[in-house]
Amino acid sequence: MSAFSQLRLDGVSRRFGGQAALTELDLTIGAGEFIALLGPSGCGKSTALNCLAGLLPLTAGSIWQDERRIDTLPPERRGFGMVFQSYALFPHLTVRANIAFGLRMRRLPKEETRRRTDEAVRLVRLEDHVDKLPGQLSGGQQQRVAIARAVVFEPSLVLMDEPLSNLDAKLRLEMRTEIRRLHQSLGLTTVYVTHDQEEALSLADRLVVLREGRVQQIGSPRELHTRPANWHVADFMGYRNLWRGRVERRDGARATVESSGHRLLGEVVGDVQAEAEAVLAVRPEDIRVDGPGEAHNALSATVEVVEYQGRELAAEARTDTGLLLHLRTERRIAPGDQVRLGVDPQRLLVYPADAAAAQTNRVPQASGATR
Ligand code: ATP
């Protein structure tokens, strides 16, 4: 369906007055790809999407569809489908008329309009609701209408801005599957904005993580999950344990770091030198509780808080030097228990500290490593 083989963003930037909302975004999107733009609130995701859509002019940079420059074209001439968080349906038009609207505007022959509309209705499974008004539909059904309306004219690119954020948790999961199914069955190229890392990991072929308007990392879900490029991305990707420390020694890909009086061995990511400040990152599920004697990274701690989460418990434990650990375990532990914890060095990532590392309270100052 895609009318291009590559869409290229070249140094795309957008300022609002003195403030840079998006800075030099370089990204090449292949036909058929599902790209997620991911990052915390205010990082520039919607700005990037709106620049692509043509709703916001660029301050610098260019956008290319193969050899054709498109950032100078108005939105309607780019031919992209858009789905927003607010469904933006016409309240006085039926489901069918809402979906057919774009085709009518394009003055397609009646027969063709009918055929394509029926097909879109079938794709989003709204056959039983075609004559209803949007007000008579549930939130999930309304979002399906919005999606059908965006794909009915077979756009070369579909842009979605947090399309599921108004839905409840169960519906969000269902619609997530629907969106992926539609993307695949229609051979769409999709750019999808979300602040939900789980949603992005499950949907996208590639993720683009933004922070303060700048790309932090572009990679596959697996790359982002296992090897975040810096501690900010790690923080965003669920590495809840972020500990500040000082590098004692570096041996190739490994480093020994002193943090809160503990000596920990981890895997180096980025420019980490001996004597430098570092941030250690590990996921709660990668901390082992009462495992068989570990050669490395064994810690004794007291359980402080336990939260029941179905099969697993989420817990917080603290070592006697004050290091706080967030962990997940299937073991039945309770507040006050003494536990032996272990972290596989491969799962403990060592990042260079930056100025921001000192400011976050989730990265406590390491004892003896403070200046
Ligand atoms: P959210 O997840 O909260 O929607 P986002 O990552 O999509 O956030 P953007 O909406 O792209 O972030 O905003 C990026 C930055 O640009 C923010 O600091 C925001 O305040 C600023 N910004 C966005 N739109 C405007 C505007 N029209 N005028 C001034 N500043 C703006």
The answer, yes or no, to whether any atom of ligand 1 lies below 6 A from the CB of 211, is no
The residue contributing the CA closest to ligand 1 atom 19 is 42
Rounded CA separation 142/206 (Å): 28
Cα distances from 1 to residues 31, 183, 185, in angstroms, run 9, 11, 11
- Size of the chain in residues: 371
The answer, yes or no, to whether any atom of ligand 1 lies below 6 A from the CB of 219, is no
Kindly give the distance from the C-alpha atom of residue 188 to the centroid of ligand 1, in angstroms, as a whole number.
27
Same domain as 330, residue 213: no
Residues 264 and 272: beta-carbon distance below 8 Å: no
pLDDT value for 293:
60
Rounded CA separation 158/35 (Å): 10
Among residues 193, 226, 259, which one ends one of the domains? 226
Q: Which class for 305: exposed (0-12), middle (13-18), buried (19 or more C-beta within 10 A)? A: exposed
Same domain as 321, residue 182: no
pLDDT value for 360:
60
Cβ neighbours for 79, distance < 8 A, ≥ 6 positions apart: 3, 153, 155, 156
Residues 290 and 266: beta-carbon distance below 8 Å: no
Tokens read off for 258: 């002193």
Among residues 198, 226, 254, which one ends one of the domains? 226
Same domain as 332, residue 213: no
Same domain as 253, residue 195: no
The answer, yes or no, to whether any atom of ligand 1 lies below 6 A from the CB of 329, is no
Among residues 202, 226, 250, which one ends one of the domains? 226
pLDDT value for 3:
76
> Looking at the domain assignment, is residue 367 inside a domain?
no
Q: Which atom of ligand 1 is nearest to the CA of 14?
A: 16
Kindly give the distance from the C-alpha atom of residue 39 to the centroid of ligand 1, in angstroms, as a whole number.
12
Mutating to test ligand 1, I would choose from 12, 14, 16, 85 the residue with most ligand atoms within 8 A of its C-beta, which is 16
> Looking at the domain assignment, is residue 308 inside a domain?
yes
Tokens read off for 53: 């859509």
pLDDT value for 74:
94
The answer, yes or no, to whether any atom of ligand 1 lies below 6 A from the CB of 21, is yes
Its pTM stands at 0.89
Closest to 1 in 3D by CA, of 38, 39, 33, 45? 33
Q: Of all helices (H) and strands (E), which one includes residue 208?
A: strand 206-211
> Looking at the domain assignment, is residue 174 inside a domain?
yes
Domain that holds residue 159: 6-226
Mutating to test ligand 1, I would choose from 13, 22, 47 the residue with most ligand atoms within 8 A of its C-beta, which is 47
106: domain CATH number is 3.40.50.300
Query: Backbone phi, then psi, for 295, in 5-degree steps?
Result: -75, -35
Same domain as 208, residue 119: yes
Q: Which atom of ligand 1 is nearest to the CA of 44?
A: 11
Q: Which residue has the tokens 């997530």?
A: 176
Give, for all 371 residues of the chain, the pLDDT tens digit: 457 899 999 999 999 998 999 999 999 999 999 999 999 999 999 999 999 999 999 999 999 999 999 999 999 889 899 998 877 889 999 999 999 998 888 888 889 999 999 988 988 889 999 999 999 998 888 988 999 999 888 888 999 999 888 888 888 888 899 899 889 988 999 999 999 999 999 999 999 999 999 999 999 999 999 999 999 999 999 999 999 999 999 999 999 999 999 999 999 999 999 999 999 999 999 999 986 665 679 999 999 999 998 899 999 999 999 999 999 999 999 999 999 999 999 999 999 998 888 766 566 544 443 33
Tokens read off for 188: 């769409």
pLDDT value for 288:
93
State CA 77 to chain mean position distance.
29
Same domain as 246, residue 197: no
Rounded CA separation 365/260 (Å): 8
The answer, yes or no, to whether any atom of ligand 1 lies below 6 A from the CB of 16, is yes
Rounded CA separation 241/283 (Å): 6
Same domain as 204, residue 329: no
> Looking at the domain assignment, is residue 13 inside a domain?
yes
Residues 263 and 256: beta-carbon distance below 8 Å: yes
Same domain as 335, residue 257: yes
Looking at residue 134, what DSSP letter applies? G
Whole-angstrom Cα Rg for the chain: 24
Residues 246 and 238: beta-carbon distance below 8 Å: no
Same domain as 146, residue 106: yes
Residues 38 and 207: beta-carbon distance below 8 Å: yes
Q: Which atom of ligand 1 is nearest to the CA of 210?
A: 6
Same domain as 235, residue 208: no
Same domain as 290, residue 220: no
Q: 25-49 in b/e burial notation, b at 16+ Cβ within 10 A? A: bebebebebbbbbbbeeebbbbbbb
Q: What is the pLDDT of residues 281-313, one digit of tens each?
A: 999 999 999 866 656 799 999 999 999 988 999
Residues 365 and 292: beta-carbon distance below 8 Å: no
Which ranges constitute the DSSP H helices of the chain?
45-53, 75-78, 95-105, 110-123, 139-151, 169-186, 197-203, 221-226, 231-236
Same domain as 315, residue 216: no
Q: How many domains does the chain have?
A: 2
